[in-house]
Amino acid sequence: MTQEEISGLITAPKIITSSTRTKFKLVNRSRRINLEATSEDKQFRFEIFIRQSEKFEEKFSIGLCYIPEKDENIVLARYNGSHGMHINKFTDGQILTTFHKHFATEEAFQKGIKPEHTARVANYAHFSEALLRFFIELNFNNYRNYLEIFGIEDISLTQLNLFDNQNNT
């Protein structure tokens, strides 16, 4: 898969198609939910998987999985919590010790490693903010209908960016 194809899928406008009555479930000490989604033009199918540790709320992963018709599913992005160290051991060697985002890369496909192996420092500091950023940055148009599932309030990207600026000053 080329970088252009990956970026196209990540940024494609999407809609969540699962029922808004879907519930978080507690399984093996983690809160779990999977939501189905498609691209707005219905050309591509996706799955969102959300996991959060019951014991450590800062340990979570919010993932976007692309479901091709024939090939195996591909994780395109994962917005992770702070779960200990991550090393981009097969790419640039960067070490991350806090909240981080994984993205699929063409380089990973070429090397035959996990597509979403490479991670970068994230622009959020807790689960609710990560979830909002995930929905907004990955272009889910109807995410507001689903926020009640997670018990969080909506906040626009502008407000999130203002929050970033305040933290940086």
Partner 1 sequence: MSEILEIKEILKEQYLDMFDLKTVRPGIYQIQLPYYYPDGDIYEIFLQKEEDNFIIQDYGLSLMKLSYDTDTESDSKKELIKRILSENQVSMDDGNISVSTKVESLIPNLMVMTDTITKLTSLNLLNRKISKNPFYELLEEFLSSKFIDFGFEKKFLPAEVPFAEDYLPPMAITKTKLNVPICIFPIASNDRCDQVTITVQHYLLSKYHPLLIGIYDNMEDITPKKSAKVTNLLDKQFSYLNKNEAYITEYLTDKIN
Residues that bind partner 1 (CB under 8 A): 27-30, 32, 49, 51, 53-56, 59, 61, 63, 65, 70-73, 75, 78, 80, 83-90, 102, 112-114, 116-119
Q: Quick one: 27 or 157, whose CB is closer to partner 1?
A: 27
- Give the nearest distance from C-beta 60 to partner 1 in angstroms: 9
Rounded CA gap, 43 and 50, in Å? 23
- Give the nearest distance from C-beta 107 to partner 1 in angstroms: 13
- Give the nearest distance from C-beta 162 to partner 1 in angstroms: 31
DSSP E strand stretches across the chain: 14-16, 25-27, 30-39, 45-53, 60-67, 74-80, 86-87, 95-96, 100-103, 119-121
Rounded CA gap, 48 and 115, in Å? 16
Q: Quick one: 89 or 144, whose CB is closer to partner 1?
A: 89
Q: Quick one: 41 or 97, whose CB is closer to partner 1?
A: 97
- Give the nearest distance from C-beta 106 to partner 1 in angstroms: 16
Please count the residues of the chain.
169
Rounded CA gap, 27 and 51, in Å? 10
